[in-house]
Structure 1
Amino acid sequence: MPHSHCNHANHDHGHGSPEEIGIQYNLFEKIDKENLQCLNESVDGSGQTVFKPWDKRLDHSQYVESDADEELLFNVPFTGNVKLKGIIIMSEDSNSHPAKLRLFKNKPNMTFDDVSMEPDQEFELQKDIEGVLEYIPKIVTFSSVSHLTMHFSANFGAETTKIYYIGLKGEWTQGHKHGVTICTYEARPMIDDHKLKHLDSVNRPIE
């Protein structure tokens, strides 16, 4: 029963052929890979490898597997602001496929101590070995995302969780917060300096 429901939801949200869908899954290019974190990965740095082009999703040589238990936690910073529109989670046809995904918006550097808080959205995942099932985030909630935390809290019963591919679809815009802060900070002393010099030059002839 849940299987047919998920397929129905996928048909509602699918846009054209799998190839056309895949072209839209290009947000991996907008991830700040140097600061991406994956907690509980069995091999250091393996969590980064699952954010790859859609046409490389079937490359099973690069994957992440959990270490101490079935949980995985990704802290995914973007290089700008993202309107998140779709997620694909792909693994193998086994019990190590993740079964639950919890999303947190704009909460950098989360750890497993923080995941007890209420997520912004939660998905019950289905086994997807081809990377074609889309999960649609709530548009209002995920319209301005600079940092996405993905907590895979459970799988289908295995001791560890494996993920081969995570696809993210959406619109990216350059972040403005940092630039505005620098601009405001630099502009104020410049204006003050100008006023002081101006007053000083006016006063001199009067004296």
Structure 2
Amino acid sequence: MHFVNRLTGLTYEVREPTEQDAPTVHATLRELLDDEDSFVLVNYLGEVRDVQEIGKILKDSNSSQRLWYLTFINNELVGGASLFVAPFFPFKVQTHEGRLAYWVRRKFRGMGLTYVMLYVLLSNSGVTYVSAFVDRLNIKSMKILEALGLERLALLEEAIYNVKECKLHDVYLYRGKREVALMRLREKLEERGFSY
């Protein structure tokens, strides 16, 4: 799917990943590992899987349980978004629920890219509810989720281990309806000058 920003003239291509994208995804994740604002990689994972493992993950993506999309500008990988269906219970029991994750390279932040990726992701999903866990220090991500109409439901104290600081961190649980998020995303894309 292609998005054009009328204000900047940039074209964003959002597509499903393939196994051949593994080296590019690997290099981008290595870059994010050195980015202090990349919460998940820097603070929680602390490492990037090897190219072969990433290739296997990409090969198995976009199944009924996991959707994943990559975004490119001029054939340069700039971000990714995923939705894991049934994150808390067996798949057949919880197909109505999906958990969001997304990342954007530093030099492409603030351009509306997250809204583009999440719009494609949620448009291609059949879930009713979307949720996300956000470190209580990740203000930017909280603002994005709240802009989509997701509600902050709970603070989970000491819920995730921060490998960088070697201590447990608190996270917020956000949750909302996919249809509301899609409506808000359409508004955000219009405000930011996107056509698709």
User: Shared fold by TM > 0.5?
Assistant: no
- Higher RCO (CA-CA < 8 Å; seq separation 6+): 1
Greater share of residues in helix:
2
